[in-house]
Amino acid sequence: MRTHVATWPRRAGKAMRKPSVGKDDQPSEGSRAQSVYRALRAAIIGQALRPGVKLPEDAIGEQLGVSRTLVREAIRRLALEGLAELKPNRGASVAYPSLEEARDVFEVRRALERLTMETLAGQLSKQQIADLREHVRGEEDTPGRDGPEAIQIAGDFHVLLAEMTGNPVLHRYMRELCSRCALILTIYGRPHSSACAVSEHHGVIDALAAGDGARAAALNDEHLQAVVGRALLGPRRQDHDIGSALPPFPPPQGVARALIYIPPAPPPPSP
């Protein structure tokens, strides 16, 4: 088995001083578990870990420098959000929703988005409207037509709208639904012009600012239907291994540690 050693950079012209880390400065189990969860979630949403890829606790723990217990806790949280699957005697893997499940997720999202539009119409402050327009400008500047960054920032627009309602339950559900939709678009998406989504987002903002809840809901519903129409046509898959998908956490006290190379799965035997 090959071993790769991660070396951490030193500042030019001077040696890096070894930090003094006391017992109270060490991260707690809760914060480390949260870090593992966030790292895995970001890798899934960012398409570094593709749908269907296995999530071996030992390999992930080795890569991130944490215990299998913390990895197992993070995977369970991801399973509750629909981003991972736990199967008896088969371990965990990134979720791979069926086409029917994908349509169901978007249908629920459309219903919650209508509530968001009705709540926000005519209620947005000037600063909130400015924040929304700034976000859409960020969408315009995002490279790639259907890459992970473009998909994520487009979904973040809808999460931001839900957050502006002041309803924490709605905000949480929209965040989870948009994450699942991003995973779905990884499987069933196809190349398209991101200008479509940007134009549709501008229309939603204009309707909300004008206080026209019915128009905002109709435009947003058409927008989501267009997303589905541009996407759910046929699956596409590409596997990545844990080593390339998850960057290792910095080792404690700045000490370099060995990172175990995780080889890709061997090809199936010839018939």
pLDDT per residue as tens digits for the range 37-76 = 999 998 998 888 989 999 999 999 999 999 999 999 999 9
* Higher pLDDT among residues 103 and 192, named by residue: 103
The first and second tokens of residue 258, run together, are 């060995």
Cα–Cα nearest to 194, from 240, 253, 236, 149: 149
Q: What is the pLDDT of residue 197?
A: 76
Q: What is the pLDDT of residue 9?
A: 39
* List of residues 6+ apart from 185 with CB closer than 8 A: 146, 151, 227, 231
| Choice among 33-37, 103-107, 117-121, 144-148 with the minimum mean pLDDT | 144-148
Mean of pLDDT values over 142-155: 75
Q: Has residue 123 got a pLDDT over 90? A: yes
Q: How far apart are CA 81 and CA 224, in angstroms?
A: 21
SS3 66: coil
Q: What is the mean pLDDT of the chain?
A: 79
* List of residues 6+ apart from 98 with CB closer than 8 A: none
Top mean pLDDT of 120-134, 186-200, 248-262 is at 120-134
Place of tokens 């509530």: 115
Q: What is the pLDDT of residue 244?
A: 59
Q: Are 50 and 239 in contact (CB under 8 A)?
A: yes
Amino acid (one-letter) located at 93: S
